[in-house]
């Protein structure tokens, strides 16, 4: 039925939206990490832009700026280099990064001379390179039709070469630490990855951002082990269970002093706790149900696809052989599979076919102050199936 309250898009608006979509696809195809913002009339007039969560995530992943470590007020404002990229030129500007003293100090940014580069509602892509920001106006540029010798093309070439250099740098470091087995520092499924990060001197943190200069590291014991794709909790607002604690209370079991729910969820069959996945194509929702067909939790396909892109723009999947010496586990690093930009359209079909599964890792510890901890939900894939999700994975021996 026609919605009479929804404004019809003009031919020009449809043309611009198609151009934006094509430009976004081009950035993904050539492996450029970016985030987007849309200047408003008020924002352009007052010279104020919100540094949204996606923008902040990009800044953090690229080690460009950390708003959560920045104080409020002009005395803490930072000015950094930025550039406006058009089809025929790259012009320099400055970006102000700050948190005002008003309210909660919501993160803000502003680019000098932005009014000459963008109109209200234009879609602007931000790219971080060499500790500077490069802005592309996706509403008017055509990335697929740039001249071979244009400044924009030269920048894109430098960016790609730089990313390749980082991958080469990481591969050489892995070959160095693979000369002898590395010692495990924890026990459990994440022990390989943690040992590798420790050997590479990567600080431990709980961030969802990639581990090494934009590259995610995944380690596993042998080829048969499933590897973590990403962690993503359900969308509680649309789920019958409103928290991991709710799921634990309804479907958990006692193990010693702890109350736990450690299990794998798949579309292929119901697990021992009576839980199973179902994908509803009409609503694009991944639904977890119990043995009575009652809905437990819901994930939208959109959120899962966004999480996959965020986590796996570029990944090193490291195969290790486990050995035990004097009751201590050691890992002999054998090979690494290098992947870039997942085929996001294949994520839900692979979950639907059972090639990608999810692990609940929920526990309430016993004692005087019981608390619930959630290490997942972890969406996992078998390494042998990586080629179905990532274009042209490349495998390198670490013993050359």
pLDDT tens digits, one per residue of 286-312: 999 999 999 999 999 989 998 998 888
Indicate whether 95 pLDDT > 80.
yes
Give the mean pLDDT of 149-162.
91
Say yes or no to pLDDT of 25 above 90.
no
Q: How far apart are CA 271 and CA 305, in angstroms?
A: 25
DSSP tally for the chain: helices H, then strands E: 8, 21
- Give me the pLDDT at residue 225, please: 67
Q: Residue 288 contacts by C-beta under 8 Å, 6 or more apart in sequence?
A: 234, 265, 275, 276, 277, 278, 295, 296, 297, 298
Q: Supply the pLDDT for residue 7.
A: 55
18 vs 31, more confident? 18
Which distant-in-sequence residues (6+ apart) come within 8 Å of 2 by Cβ? none
Given the candidates 2.60.40.10, 3.30.70.3570, 3.40.50.2300, 3.40.50.300, the CATH classification of the domain at 178-397 is: 3.30.70.3570
Which range of 98-107, 134-143, 204-213 scores highest in mean pLDDT? It is 134-143
Q: pLDDT digit string (tens) for 320-348?
A: 999 998 889 999 999 999 988 788 888 99
- Residue 12: pLDDT above 80? no
- Nearest residue to 227 (alpha-carbon basis) of 387, 388, 382: 382
- Averaged over 21-38, what is the pLDDT? 83
Beta bridge partners of 50: 108
Confidence of residue 152 (pLDDT cuts 50, 70, 90): very high
Whether the per-residue pLDDT at 214 is higher than 50: the answer is yes
Q: What is the pLDDT of residue 99?
A: 94
CA 391 – CA 303 distance, rounded (Å): 21
Q: What is the mean pLDDT of residues 41-54?
A: 90
Asked whether the CA dihedral 162, 167, 173, 176 is positive or negative, the reply is negative
What pLDDT is attached to residue 1? 41
Taking residues 112-125, what's their average pLDDT? 94
Task: State the average pLDDT over residues 378-391.
Answer: 86
Mean of the per-residue pLDDT values of the chain: 88
What's the average model confidence in pLDDT over 51-77?
88
More confident position, 103 or 64: 64
Domain ranges within the chain, ordered by starting residue? 28-161, 178-397
Q: Is the pLDDT of residue 372 over 70?
A: yes
pLDDT of residue 206 exceeding 70, the answer is no
Evaluate if residue 367 carries a pLDDT over 80.
no
Q: What is the pLDDT of residue 394?
A: 86
Beta bridge partners of 363: 260, 373
pLDDT digits (tens, 9 = 90+) for 247-257: 999 999 998 88
Q: Which burial class, exposed, middle or buried, applies to 383 when counting CB atoms under 10 A from its CB (0-12, 13-18, 19+)? A: buried
Confidence of residue 94 (pLDDT cuts 50, 70, 90): very high
- The confidence score (pLDDT) of residue 2 equals 44
Percent of the chain with pLDDT over 90: 60
Confidence of residue 233 (pLDDT cuts 50, 70, 90): very high
Question: Is the pLDDT score of 76 beyond 90?
Answer: yes
């Amino acid at each position: 039925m026609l919605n009479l309250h929804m404004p019809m898009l003009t031919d020009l608006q449809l043309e611009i939206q198609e151009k934006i979509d094509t430009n976004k696809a081009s950035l993904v195809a050539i492996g450029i990490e970016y985030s987007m913002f849309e200047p408003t009339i008020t924002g352009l007039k007052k010279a104020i832009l919100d540094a949204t969560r996606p923008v902040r995530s990009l800044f953090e992943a690229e080690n460009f700026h950390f708003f959560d470590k920045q104080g409020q007020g002009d005395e803490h404002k930072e000015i950094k280099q930025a550039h406006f990229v058009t089809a025929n030129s790259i012009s320099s500007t400055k970006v102000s990064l700050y948190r005002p003293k008003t309210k909660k100090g919501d993160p803000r940014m502003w680019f000098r001379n932005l009014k000459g580069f963008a109109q209200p509602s234009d879609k602007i892509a931000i790219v971080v390179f060499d500790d500077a920001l490069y802005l592309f106006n996706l509403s008017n540029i055509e990335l697929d039709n740039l001249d071979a010798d244009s400044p924009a093309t030269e920048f894109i070439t430098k960016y790609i070469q730089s990313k390749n250099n980082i991958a080469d740098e990481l591969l050489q470091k892995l070959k160095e630490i693979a000369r002898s087995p590395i010692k495990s520092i924890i026990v459990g499924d994440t022990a390989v990855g943690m040992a590798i990060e420790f050997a590479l001197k990567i600080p431990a943190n709980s961030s969802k951002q990639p581990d090494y200069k934009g590259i995610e590291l995944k380690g596993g014991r042998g080829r048969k082990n499933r590897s973590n794709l990403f962690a993503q909790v359900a969308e509680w607002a649309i789920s019958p269970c409103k928290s991991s604690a709710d799921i634990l209370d309804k479907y958990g079991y006692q193990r010693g002093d702890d109350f736990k729910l450690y299990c794998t969820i798949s579309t292929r069959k119901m697990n021992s706790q009576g839980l199973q996945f179902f994908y509803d194509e009409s609503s694009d929702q991944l639904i977890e149900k119990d043995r009575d067909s009652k809905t437990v939790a819901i994930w939208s396909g959109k959120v899962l696809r966004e999480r996959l892109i965020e986590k796996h723009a570029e990944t090193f999947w490291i195969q290790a052989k486990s050995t035990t010496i004097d009751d201590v586990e050691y890992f002999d690093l054998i090979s690494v599979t290098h992947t870039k930009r997942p085929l996001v359209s294949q994520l839900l079909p692979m979950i639907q076919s059972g090639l990608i599964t999810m692990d609940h890792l929920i526990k309430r510890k016993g004692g005087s102050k019981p608390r619930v901890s959630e290490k997942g939900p972890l969406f996992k894939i078998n390494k042998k199936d990586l080629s179905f999700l990532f274009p042209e994975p490349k495998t390198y021996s670490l013993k050359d």
